[in-house]
Amino acid sequence: MCRINIHVLNSGVVIVDSELAFSTGESHNPLAFTGLFRSKVHEITLPVSAYLIEHPKRLVLVDTGCHTDVRNHMFSYLGPFLYLANKAYLPEGEAINEQLQKLGYKTSDIDKVVLTHLDCDHVSGLKLVADAKSIMVNNLEYDGAMGNPVRYKKSMWEGVPLKLFEYRASNEGIAHRSYDLYGDGVIQLVYTPGHSKGMCTVKITNNNKFILLTADCGYGSKSWNDLILPGLNYDKEEMLEALNWVQLQSEDSNCVAVIANHDATIKPHVISL
Ligand SMILES: [Zn+2]
């Protein structure tokens, strides 16, 4: 069978409180994950990944990294809350459109952009790739984001035609629900809620092997190995169930890799499946 290449691209970094990535529950401050009333010693710098799936017939982008606006006017772009909790930096050449160009692609070459969820560090670069053929986000995720103007910034997707998809019964994920992107089982958007209302993990299967792009189910392998939850959640029980599912998948002998969006150990590389 033909090979599929998955480019792991780092598109900027975010500076966050360590409680956001790996919640210890040790702080008495319920807003510790936002960095509010917390010392800078708790700050950590994490990459913001996006992924280009290169199938011989299709080009799929998963998440969009940081927008170039964070370079020049981060405060007005992010607003006061996100500026406090989630400062972003984007070096020259790391915006998603700049990286696609380096790989020899135009943004209009992308068949589908999949947004795993609508937090700003996943959707920020969307307007840089808005001329992709189709832009997809789950309907539950969209509803959750539209109902929470503190956490989400709808200006990042306003004016961009989003295609809402619904999860369907399948053998994947915590509720046996997923969305098969091309109906051939190769790219499954698996329902892994908890961090947000409708977040998906992207499972790519080819030649009897698979990888998981697990978005923010966890922030690194210790998250699913030791079941350490992120600090920000929509539903904590669902988040633990999702992380349990990721752990089981990671132990499968056909699993090549599980990659989180903000794993500090991840460097840009290409996986061939
Ligand atoms: Zn994130």
| Model pLDDT for residues 197-206, shown as the tens digit of each residue | 999 999 999 9
Q: How far is the CA of 261 from the centre of ligand 1 (A)?
A: 6
Rounded CA-CA distance 38/40 in Å is 7
Per-residue confidence (pLDDT) for residue 39, from 0 to 100: 66
> Is the separation of the CB atoms in 236 and 227 below 8 Å?
no
The domains found in the chain, sorted by start residue, are 5-262 (3.60.15.10)
| Model pLDDT for residues 134-156, shown as the tens digit of each residue | 999 999 999 999 999 988 999 99
Q: How far is the CA of 2 from the centre of ligand 1 (A)?
A: 31
pLDDT band at 190; cut points 50, 70, 90? very high
For residue 249, the number of C-alpha atoms closer than 13 Å in the C-beta half-sphere is: 30
Beta bridge partners of 11: none
Q: Tokens 């080819």 — which residue?
A: 206
Burial class (CB in 10 A: 0-12, 13-18, 19+), 26: exposed
Q: How far is the CA of 121 from the centre of ligand 1 (A)?
A: 5
Q: How far is the CA of 189 from the centre of ligand 1 (A)?
A: 17
Q: How far is the CA of 111 from the centre of ligand 1 (A)?
A: 23
Q: How far is the CA of 84 from the centre of ligand 1 (A)?
A: 15
